[in-house]
Amino acid sequence: MIAEVIINNSAKQLDRTFDYNVPNEMQNDIKIGSRVLVPFGNMKKLEEGFIVGFKETTEYKAKDIAKIGKESTLNESKVELAKWIAKRYFCNLSESIKLMLPPGTKTKNIEKRIKEKTGNFVILKKDKDEIENEIETGKIKSEKQIRLLQFLINNDDTYIKDLEEFTEVSKAIMKTLEKNGYIEIYEKQIERNPFINKQIKPSNKLKLNEEQRKAYEKIEEAIDDKMNSEFLIFGVTGSRKNRNIFATNRKSIQRRKK
């Protein structure tokens, strides 16, 4: 299997795919969007790249991919969006791909990247009906084990710290259940939510100055007359041209709702 790789470099002459052979031991883990390290040209240091496609054969003598990155933030739909952006705005595909990456993970210096947060999760390993039957028949007698298993039956996989808090069951009991084949403790990435502790207040209606009001009224008139017109708003830096854009967007949205 041959992978089509975009090198993580903004040079225009490198804005094309390069073919690399996927070693057999990597084929189950590699996918479109994977971040990889590859030998490139005569450079001694491995270069970073992104896989944007696969094919069966190549006319070139392809080198092997050296390593697959652990990051799993890119997927096929994001790569397709990056391709569209590159085509629409005439920019390098590697630069478009980096727009899809979370903040703190774009640098080529791996040591300086923000590491993905992972944690241990617990999931049932036995069938739910089988576990419920063993609880009813008294095969499972421990009150704490029953409480934990019933929680997992109703909630599927759960972060281990949350499970400890909700069920008041220690990790030692979880280990016992894992040893007996009832549950599995595994590691996976914890999704970060940058807005989880933020309170965002809605903004007030914007007030336009005289020049902004004149510009807005011309655009408003075009909207009311259902004219598909284009307007270029001129103004020096800091003149708050965006206020007109926000105001006309609000007007346009209100118009569509009617």
124 with 183: CB under 8 angstroms? yes
Give yes or no: residues 152 and 52 share one domain: no
Is residue 146 included in any domain, yes or no?
yes
Q: What is the pLDDT of residue 242?
A: 61
104 and 163 within one domain: no
The percentage of the chain sitting over the pLDDT mark of 70, rounded to a whole number, equals 78
Do 57 and 92 contact (CB within 8 A), yes or no?
no
- For all residues of the chain together, what is the average pLDDT? 82
In a domain, 194, yes or no: no
pLDDT of residue 142: 93
Which tens digits make up the pLDDT trace of 118-162? 789 999 999 999 999 999 999 999 999 999 999 999 988 898 998
What is the distance between the alpha carbons of residues 7 and 178, in angstroms, rounded to a whole number? 43
Considering the domain architecture, whether residues 15 and 98 belong to the same structural domain is answered as yes
- Report pLDDT for 214: 81
pLDDT tens digit sequence for 190-202: 666 656 656 767 7
How confident is the model at residue 226, as a pLDDT?
73
- What is residue 6's predicted lDDT score, i.e. its pLDDT? 94
Rounded to whole angstroms, the Cα distance separating 33 from 79 reads 6
| Pair 127, 161 in one domain | yes
Average pLDDT over residues 10-26: 91
pLDDT of 108 over the 70 cut: no
Same-domain check for residues 185 and 235: no
What is the CATH classification number for the domain harbouring 33? 3.40.1440.60
Residue 30 scores a pLDDT above 70: yes
| 108 C-beta neighbours (distance < 10 Å), count | 10
The answer to whether residue 103 scores a pLDDT higher than 70 is no
* C-beta neighbour count of 54 within 10 angstroms: 14
**Residues 7 and 69 occupy one common structural domain:** yes
Q: Are residues 136 and 73 in the same domain?
A: no
Dihedral, 95, 99, 105, 108 alpha carbons, nearest 10: 0
Q: pLDDT at position 219, please?
A: 79
Is residue 113's pLDDT more than 60? no
As a whole-number percent, the residues of the chain with pLDDT over 90 amount to 47
* pLDDT score of 210: 82
Residues 24 and 62 reside in one and the same domain:
yes
pLDDT for 82 beyond 60: yes
Q: Answer yes or no: do 175 and 148 share one domain.
A: yes
Same domain, 99 and 162: no
For residue 128, the model assigns a pLDDT of: 92
Q: Give the per-residue pLDDT at 73.
A: 76
122 located within any domain: yes
Asked, for residue 203, whether it belongs to a domain, the answer is no
Final residue in a domain of this structure, among 189, 223, 241: 189
Between the CA atoms of 224, 251, 246 and 212, what dihedral angle is there, to the nearest 10 degrees?
A: 50
In a domain? residue 225: yes
- Domain range for 160 is 118-189
Tell me what pLDDT residue 244 has.
Answer: 53
Last residue of a domain, one of 189, 218, 238: 189
pLDDT tier for residue 254 given thresholds of 50, 70 and 90: low
* CA dist., res. 128 & res. 76, Å (int): 34
Q: Say if residue 183 is in the same domain as residue 220.
A: no
In a domain, 202, yes or no: no
Residue 196 resides in a domain = no
193 or 78: which leads in pLDDT:
78
| Residue 253 pLDDT level (bands cut at 50, 70, 90) | very low
Which pLDDT tens digit goes with each residue over 34-57?
A: 999 999 988 888 999 999 999 999
Are residues 86 and 8 part of one domain?
Answer: yes
Per the structure, the count of domains in the chain is 3
pTM above 0.85, yes or no: no
Q: Taking Cα atoms as reference points, which of 68, 74, 114, 115 lies closest to residue 97? A: 74
- Report yes or no on 200 lying in a domain: no
By DSSP bridging, strand 35-38 and strand 67-68 are antiparallel
